Structure 1
């Protein structure tokens, strides 16, 4: 039973018990000393009794029934009024759990236990928001500071690689690869920080076009890896940043290709429209993944069992960036292992009115 129903039954039970005690008190201490003929005359319009107890019992039972009905209705309304602040706090908790730390309960009214709880919760959210903003600023500032020396190092390595007098130096090639990876990591950290700050102007975006563009970007890599990509769906209008959502799509497709079955893998990219939302789903074949392992894949620098580093393996922030971009668009990210191996990732975003368009289907 809900708390409101429990409180309602408690209120109604208390009212009925109180009424019963009052009736019993009236009978024991008052009515049994009254002339029975007087009882007969005052109750005969309700009942025609033959003894005082029965003459008093009928109106007493009617009174208790009315008290029960009054207790249930009044208790339900009173419980709803008392629990309304708790519902607001619960809604704020769900909003914060979805990633929005800027929401506040802001409970008005006089100071009581619910007001103290709401104020304490708002203070906690404020501290969490400040801490989260501090972490994002640190990541952004650190990434900015690293970009310049890494770019200079990359330029020096480019000059060394193109020097005909040096020839092909294995050490220079290795340093070039390490530095390129550091640059990719820096750019990924900047993107992750930007998505977390929601520093973008929302605009109409079609996830079906995002899916097509992301797929075309990684077609050469898919061909070299022997992975087939199937794209199908329908126009899926959403509202957000085209650049960030494109990054989300390319990260999902890239992740599905590099963590697939080499030479015999498949990737399915689909879009769909549902009441109030649109969905971009990327499913891929691959090795068996447990639900416990899949739940950790959105953590930064986390890779699944058997996922090895390669030239196109990324920097370990692909799904973490997808999660941050999804949260910045008030969406829901879902990861689930596929039956038979592989991973299925779906991004559900709030929809906007769809423009006139036709379904598309591209198979490569």
Structure 2
């Protein structure tokens, strides 16, 4: 998933240089991916997948590898958007159905490390994709440019990863629940608030997550800063859930969710206020330390708020997240196209995250009481 969802970020600057893509073009391609993610999340919320979670998850991972390969075989804006749309559907299915299996079994086993390892894998994929792009020769390989070779390399790694997952992934959710139909989702006030802030968080984080490397290229004298910014993002994301878990006994899961929103908002401001090369490095560090953790704990809170229909809650929250992700790149690309920089869009994203933090803070007692977290 780290390659399927986020390798677009380190590959994007090379595509913009070689193909003449504008920030608006880049935002459109990213938005297509998130439209697919949204529709995939909505589709996953229905009962058709009960008992088939493992097969669907593995199929989605195999599709991710094939779609990574396809990105290197075209230079068409329309085809880029279509491929990334399909990759978004695959990402949503992977997230929802692997999480349904892995997290339920982790909870049944009483093992708190399962969640950290599960979501940490995305961060490792981000770091590895950054390292791969950095190590590729600038001129590419013969007939293929470096950005094409990066997509091909990601496809190979994703294919190998899919084989490993096929060996390790259990048959279905714990306690034989995969074949049981869930009850209708009940929308309580705490669940509405968490879903809203989760969706707005999708808007806030994705702007930097999409354009961080392009922002680093604007102020850097070589590609090292680009590589380090996204590499640091991935490594910090890989350990973020584990690090923040230590704060749960003191702050609670909802308190950690709130703290993550605040820290990420600060990171976004620093991304456009610190001098180069520190801005993208610090911004990447704080982005990595928060976005997967907020994603993970947000979903955990949603499951706790809807114990009779956790899969539906997870799917609807992922859908809200997807709406935010669609709007983020479009707005950022449009603003950058007009201003020549990503400063305005990044500050807008920071403001949205601060609003999410404020809303969560106002409702935290109700959320904690309802979720027991």
- TM-score (norm. length: structure 2): 0.26
Please identify which structure carries the higher strand content. 1
Q: Which is greater in Rg?
A: 1
Please identify which structure carries the higher helix content. 2
